[in-house]
Amino acid sequence: MAMEPKTNPPSKSAELLLQIKDLHTSFSVEGQTARAVDGVDFDIHAGEVLGLVGESGCGKSVTALSLLKLIPDPPGCIEKGSAIFKGRDLLSLTYDEMRSIRGREIAMIFQEPMTALNPVFTIGFQMREAIQHHTGVSKQEAIGRSVEMLEKVGLSDARARMSSYPHQFSGGMRQRVMIAMALSLEPALLIADEPTTALDVTIQAQILELMLEMKEQQQGASILLITHDLAVVAETCDRVVVMYGGKIQEVASVRQLFRQPKHPYTQGLLRSLPRPDLDRKQEQLETIPGMVPNIFDWPKGCRFCTRCPLVEDRCRTHEPALKKVGEGHEVRCHLVNDEDGGDS
């Protein structure tokens, strides 16, 4: 899969599919409040693949789950914000309105294909129940559609495999089934939460390629790809949102992000990638020192100040704002000047 980082960030004129504003989601655990998502704004355009990148616990999965109101409540709670999808605010929909969005307009696939399918029902049953539920077609039609989707995702002998149980499939196969299931109703947005993390490296590329292929078949469909793997981002995404500590730290096109990373955290992430293409032999892979701060007690200033190699006093006391530094490129750092190409 020799896909170059995409060079054309979608123009402003591209249709806005989803606009997230000031999203706050928190969890109360034993009297303490974990502000997992703490004021997140970003847009998804029709037809683009947006990467949401960050370490475990940075709030990227919670952001995605909040969009479909899949946050377990209690302990979770979407405190404020809005997510305008096709003119409607997802976060203020009623339960039944939300259900008609889930699966039909916005579908989701998860990290663990091993456990994301119900172990006691056949693949066929799980495939067709959403189709029947949303469209009200007959069982035969739903089966036909399911078989068609399974064939599209590359399952041989799809009709026979409809009566198999999830445990009879390999991890990669299950993720293919999940993709087939998610795309069977041609949703406008597919949220993929670390879809390849639990898979073998050789399978990962196949699954990513399959996702893009399926997206191409469905004109105008967008993908929100949540991952911690920058290699995956480079190969699949158009734009990238980098999250750390419940906040967005940098938004950029893939090209900008890899060529001119502005935020010290993004730079750290890129440095910790193995680079076999560079001449110099690295004795040891670089890492970002320290640990993600306690989610119950974020640092007062910049969320990254506890680990930042360039930290200054103001970073510890004042939180930087998200600043625009170029076309479609925003960074949250005191050390970056507005509209400045300097690499701090």
Partner 1 sequence: MSGMWTYFTRRLLLVPVTFIVITFIVYAVLRITPGGPIQQLENQMRAAAAGEAGGGGGGLGGESVGLDEKARDELKAYYNLDQPIPLAYLQWLGVYPKKTRTPVTLEYRRDDADFWQQSQQLWNDYREAEHRLQQSLIDGDLLVSGDTILIEVTAADRSRFPEKLNQADQLLAGGVSSRSQLNRLLSGLGWSLSGSRFMRPITTQESGEAGIAAVCQRQLLVQEDSYRSLQQHLLPLNIEPNRNGSYYHVKNALSGILQGDFGRSFTYNKDALTVIISKFPISIYFGLIGYLATWLVCIPLGISKAIRHRGAFDTATSVLVFLGYATPGFVACLLLLVLFGGGSYWNLVPLGGFRSPDWNQWWQQGQYLTCAIDQIKHTLVPMFGYLVGSFASMTVLMKNSLLDNLGADYVRTAFAKGLTERRVIYVHALRNSLIPITAGIGHFLGLLFAGSFLIEKVCNIPGMGLLGYESIIRRDYPIILATLVIGVLIRLTGNIFSDLIWALIDPRIRFK
Which residue from 41, 129, 209, 229 is in contact with partner 1, where contact means CB under 8 A?
129
Q: Name the DSSP class of 102.
A: B
Cβ of residue 169: shortest distance to partner 1, in angstroms? 12
| Alpha helices in 253-324, H assignment, sequence order | 254-259, 264-271, 313-317
Smallest separation, CB 103 to partner 1 (Å):
4
Rounded Cα distance between 92 and 181, Å, is: 26
The residue range among 29-37, 101-109, 138-146, 248-256 that interacts with partner 1, by the rule CB under 8 A, is 101-109
* Residues belonging to the chain: 344
Q: Which residues contact 274 (CB under 8 A, 6 or more apart)?
A: 282, 285
Per-residue contact flags (x/-) with partner 1 for residues 58 to 97, judged by CB under 8 A: ----------x-x-x-x--------------------x--
Instruction: Please say whether the beta carbons of 242 and 266 come within 8 A.
Output: yes
111-119, 257-265, 269-277, 292-300 -> range binding partner 1 (CB under 8 A) = 111-119
C-alpha gyration radius of the chain: 21
Q: Which of 41, 79, 112, 209 binds partner 1 (CB under 8 A)?
A: 112
For residues 175-214, which are near partner 1 according to CB under 8 A? 178, 181
Position of tokens 């007959």?
Answer: 138
Nearer to partner 1, 53 or 178 (CB): 178
Query: What is the nearest approach in angstroms of partner 1 to the Cβ of residue 64?
Result: 10
Taking CB under 8 A as the criterion, the residue among 12, 87, 94, 119 binding partner 1 is: 119
Spatial CA neighbour of 64 closest among 86, 89, 47, 83: 83
SS3 content of the chain, % helix, strand, coil (to 5): 30, 25, 45
* Nearest to partner 1 of 112, 141 (CB atom): 112
Distance of CA 222 to the CA centre of its chain: 11
Residues that bind partner 1 (CB under 8 A): 68, 70, 72, 74, 95, 99-104, 107-108, 110, 112, 115-121, 129-130, 133-134, 165, 167, 178, 181
